[in-house]
Amino acid sequence: HGSAASIIMMPVARDFKRYPSYGRDLRLCELDVGLAGAWTKRALQSAFMWKLQGHPGWQLIPE
């Protein structure tokens, strides 16, 4: 029974030139709470570790 809160922001650093109102693309920002947050956190951590270890396809994972 996992419980977490995960916030995904795009772009991580605010870019007011591309997104003048908030500095972020609100269509790509996401908040997951509870079990969905735990699964999102697990998926992100697994993707980061896959990229860090240089496994096949690591170039496809964005920064």
The answer to whether the CB of 24 falls within 8 A of the CB of 49 is no
SS3 46: helix
In a domain, 9, yes or no: yes
Mean pLDDT along residues 5-32 = 91
pLDDT digits (tens, 9 = 90+) for 23-57: 999 998 999 889 888 888 899 899 999 999 999 98
Q: How confident is the model at residue 8 (pLDDT cuts 50, 70, 90)?
A: confident
Q: Given this model, what pLDDT does residue 17 score?
A: 95
Count up the domains in the chain and report the number.
1
In a domain, 60, yes or no: no
Residue 62 has pLDDT above 80, yes or no: no
Q: Given this model, what pLDDT does residue 3 score?
A: 78
In a domain, 61, yes or no: no
In a domain, 62, yes or no: no
Domain range for residue 12? 4-54
